[in-house]
Amino acid sequence: MKKRVGIPRALLYYTYYPLWREFFTSLGAEVVVSSPTTKGILNQGVKKAVDEACLPVKLYYGHVMDLIGKVDYLFLPRMVSVEAKTYICPKFLGLPDMIRHNVDNLPTLIDVNINRHKNDNQLYGAVYQVGKMFSANPYNIYAAFNRAIKVQNRYETLLQQGILPFEALSVLERGDGGDKETATPQQGKDLTIALVGHPYNIYDNYISMNLIEKLKTMGAMVMTPEAVAPEVVEGEANKLPKKMFWNMGKKMVGSAFHFLNRPDVDGIIHLAAFGCGPDSFTGELVEREVRRKKTVPFLNLTIDEHTGEAGIVTRLEAFVDMIRWKAVSQ
């Protein structure tokens, strides 16, 4: 019987799922993803999680609980750093411990350390350690990892073409070779809005209150940091007086600065999660730059566990009205 590996549909799922999935399936395991976020999943998570955690971490708890009983392993790597000289965020560092101590009846945890902060050599060691749980053959592990890297690269290429993760995942799922016919750039919209935030906030339809869909319905094309090339992010983020050491924060700030310089971007929305430390910094850094430039309208939205949509809708409507009104008057 195939070993079942559970992956919570939360946090870095939106960034690395293709990599993880390809690796485990190549080694003969079955990958099980938790259900899309619902009120039930969020409530479960909020109840279990420590109060000080941010909203996305609380949601992660809910997704872990959704997988209990359905899988033999739970893939919960300790993601310390994914690139040189940056860190993810302290809450990611402590995630395996938080889960282990707060959630009962857990399956076997796969909680290897991923830390590329100082050197890259550590990475394959971690990969091999996980691979050994599924295959005794070192070559198989190596081959699976290579395949996984290829799929991940393809996913990132799709994202950089402006395809949103949800669609990019289904393109990969279908497994068709050609990117061209599957790439569906958004068309027929009169506005372009850049939505800047952590991937796990902006792409989770439940906690983002369907923000991307709402913007599309209002006639806006949506651009996200995932569509900005890493070199561009790096170049823009270097304009900060001090290096930002959160890689996700750096991506948000760098891409927001990039969007600020693009004539085709009509407005920038920063989506912050309640209780997120880095978000409070990135929001402020972006807002200050926006105010200095005074060219692009900016909106900062904060999401939390409340389900009331009225506040978000009012602000979004007013933001879009403002942009359109401005366009008419010019």
Partner 1 sequence: MNCFLGVDVGSVSTNIILMDEETNVLESMYLRTQGKPIVTVQRGLQDLAGRLKPGWHIRAAGTTGSARHLTSVIMGADSVKNEITAHAVAATHLVPGAQTVLEIGGQDSKIIVLRNGVVADFAMNTVCAAGTGSFLDQQAARLNIPIEDFGPIALEAKSPVRIAGRCSVFAESDMIHKQQMGHNLSDILAGLCEALVRNYLNNVGKGKEILGPVVFQGGVAANVGIKKAFEEALEVEVQIPKHYDVMGAVGAALLAREAVAKGQPSKFKGFEAAQEDYRAGSFECGDCPNLCEVIEIAAGEKTIARWGDRCSKWANSVMAEESAV
Is 124 a binder of partner 1 (CB under 8 A)?
A: no
Q: Give the shortest CB-155-to-partner 1 separation in angstroms.
A: 27
Query: Taking CB under 8 A as the criterion, which residues in 252-291 touch partner 1?
Result: 287-288, 291
Q: Give the shortest CB-199-to-partner 1 separation in angstroms.
A: 21
Q: Give the shortest CB-52-to-partner 1 separation in angstroms.
A: 18
Q: Closer to partner 1 at the Cβ: 234 or 284?
A: 284
Q: DSSP 3-state assignment of 242? A: coil
CA angle 124, 127, 129 (to 5 degrees): 110
State the burial class of residue 140 (Cβ atoms within 10 Å of its Cβ: 0-12, 13-18, 19+).
Answer: middle
Count the Cβ atoms, other than its own, within 10 Å of residue 260.
19
Which residues share a beta bridge with 223?
A: 194
Residues 6+ apart with CB under 8 A from 96: 76, 77, 78, 109, 111
From candidates 2, 28, 39, 97, binder to partner 1 by CB under 8 A:
39
Is 174 a binder of partner 1 (CB under 8 A)?
A: no
Is 47 a binder of partner 1 (CB under 8 A)?
A: no
Is 38 a binder of partner 1 (CB under 8 A)?
A: yes
Query: Taking CB under 8 A as the criterion, which residues in 302-321 touch partner 1?
Result: 302, 304, 310-311, 313-315, 317-319, 321
Q: Does residue 48 contact residue 202 with C-beta atoms inside 8 Å?
A: no
The gap from C-alpha 156 to its chain's centroid, in whole angstroms, comes to 12
Which amino acid, residue 132?
K
Nearest-angstrom CA–CA distance, 6 and 97 = 17
What is the enclosing helix (H) or strand (E) of 251?
helix 247-261
Candidate segments 75-83, 123-131, 149-157, 322-330, binder of partner 1 by CB under 8 A: 322-330
The number of residues that bind partner 1 (CB under 8 A) is 27
**Mask: binding to partner 1, 208-237, rule CB under 8 A, as x and -?**
--x---------------------------
Q: Which residues here bind partner 1, judged by CB under 8 A?
A: 35, 38-41, 206, 210, 287-288, 291, 297-298, 302, 304, 310-311, 313-315, 317-319, 321-322, 325-326, 329
